[in-house]
Amino acid sequence: MKLTERNSATEAQGSDLLHVVQDGVSKKMTRSVFLAGIGGAVSLSYNDPRGYGAVYDGSTDCTAAIQQAIDAGGKVKLIGSGIALCSDSIVLKDGTSLELDNNIVIKLADETNKPLVVTPGSAFRWDDTEAGQTYIKNVSVRGGKFDCNGANQTRSASFVGFGLQIADVKNFTFEDSAIRNPTSFGFQGGGLHTFKISNINCDYTEGRVNMDGIHINGDVLDGTIENIWGTTHDDMVALNCVDGDEYMLRRGNMRRISVKDVMNSGTGFRGVRVLSGPDVICDEILIDGIYGDYQYEAVALTSYRGVISRIGKVTIKNIFSESMGSSAIGVVNGSAQTYVKCLTIDGVSFTQKSGNTTDLLRNQGIVTTCFINNIDIQTEDIDLSGVNILNGNEIKSLFMNNINIMKPATQPASLYFSALKLTTVSITNAVINAQNLLRLYKNGGTYLKGNVLFTGATEIDNNGYSITTV
């Protein structure tokens, strides 16, 4: 326990029973006896659920013991090793600090059909206002593993299958933990103001629909999500301002969120999804560091069920991938009906594998201003007809710089702009190894207004457009 200078007169009120750990041993004593024994000169370092009857043997139900330790206030620590079985949700409170030693597992019992860890605000709420909402403060969860035992839960309308479900918290931290086999999302959050989710291993060995890693809903501000790694069976990280009825925790705006260093080591569908809606917005989103291979795309910018949706400023940096899956349509994919105000893609290293042509940016929506910088694309398949840098609908102003494409030189086409409406385009420092050709395609009514500035290409096939070469 931790020694501090504290006034014993303020501590020795009442004779309530304390469960304390002293020199590694769990003990029970009244507050007055405890304080008398140590002269009132110490404060408790943490509450140990074993003092309330918890046994980490994988069969003893530890729910009540852990909850009583939390309800006592302050830090709760599960020390040692073993499995703490829980047959109900653990409810975090205002000021809760829950800490697990590395070899401690909290496991959801069979057919519990509830989230493993929740906060008092973890009921679904559709409204997008903060007025009248109650937020708890200063909550943290650290260490250990949370085994959601998803194969032995029954998914229903009332239990979609979230592992940890955290809502309406100001100053929240979740770090240095692992999540194993949820029924659907490993972690779902909403109504989080100033939060950090860091060093989380998604240990998913089972395959079910909607098995996201970190899934964040609306009414979230000033958050960092970093070092998320492992294997999921859907999005590694999802930033969804709005969701369907069965998934929605909070609906609302999402601003100033950073997602850093996401690493898929298995069959993840995509690295990061950003999803907005018609009356809410995702804005000031930074995605920095996407690693591994994905079935669909590294980053998806999507609308809510096909209705017009707004996304503000999104910066995507440092994507490193050997390949996308056979279903991939873009390293970055913007879906139809998605309106993005400002999109920056900076730093992509990507290898196109045999038989699969993947666009750098498949934009099916509308982007007002787009910056694409520092792109390195390698291709292995001599049968690929070209590399689609851009493909889709409309970008009003496009600025590209430092584009490097290396592919078998026997293939004449290297850089395609296809089925894309462009207003202003500037391309500088393009290094192309395939007869040095840049091609601009107009498919099915695609049009270009204004001039295109190309620098660094020896041949231009302009397909009828007005092109200025320097």
Report whether pLDDT(261) > 90. Answer: yes
Identify the residue with better confidence: 321 or 213.
213
Report whether pLDDT(458) > 60. Answer: no
Report the distance separating Cα 313 and Cα 140, nearest Å.
30
Residue range 292-297: average pLDDT? 85
Residue range 71-80: average pLDDT? 95
pLDDT at position 357: 62
Identify the sign of the CA torsion 182, 186, 192, 193. Answer: positive
The per-residue pLDDT for range 370-379, each reduced to its tens digit, is 999 998 877 7
pLDDT at position 456: 42
Going by pLDDT thresholds of 50, 70 and 90, the confidence category of residue 90 is very high
Q: What is the distance between the terminal CA atoms of the chain, rounded to a whole angstrom?
A: 72
Query: Tokens standing for 13?
Result: 């009120």
pLDDT at position 208: 87
Report whether pLDDT(404) > 80. Answer: no
Report the distance separating Cα 376 and Cα 369, nearest Å.
21
For the chain, which residues make up each domain, given as ranges? 1-45, 56-246+262-268, 269-470
Query: What Å distances lie between residue 104 and 67, 146, 178, CA to CA?
Result: 16, 9, 11
Q: Look-up: residue for tokens 């790694």?
A: 229
Report the distance separating Cα 237 and Cα 322, nearest Å.
20
pLDDT at position 369: 92
What is the CATH class of 56-246+262-268? Answer: mainly beta
pLDDT at position 136: 95
Question: What is the average pLDDT value for the chain, to the nearest integer?
Answer: 79
Question: Residue 366 in contact with residue 334, Cβ under 8 Å?
Answer: no
pLDDT at position 412: 43
Identify the residue with better confidence: 269 or 140.
140
The per-residue pLDDT for range 160-173, each reduced to its tens digit, is 889 999 999 999 99
**Cα R_g (the chain), whole angstroms:** 26
Provide φ and ψ at 33, rounded to 5°: -65, -40
Measure the CA dihedral 150/153/156/161, to 10°.
Answer: -30
Identify the residue with better confidence: 121 or 454.
121
The per-residue pLDDT for range 435-446, each reduced to its tens digit, is 434 444 443 333
Going by pLDDT thresholds of 50, 70 and 90, the confidence category of residue 33 is very low
Report whether pLDDT(145) > 70. Answer: yes
The per-residue pLDDT for range 321-332, each reduced to its tens digit, is 766 655 566 789
Report whether pLDDT(247) > 50. Answer: yes
Q: Look-up: residue for tokens 């092109």?
A: 467
Residue range 357-361: average pLDDT? 75
pLDDT at position 394: 81
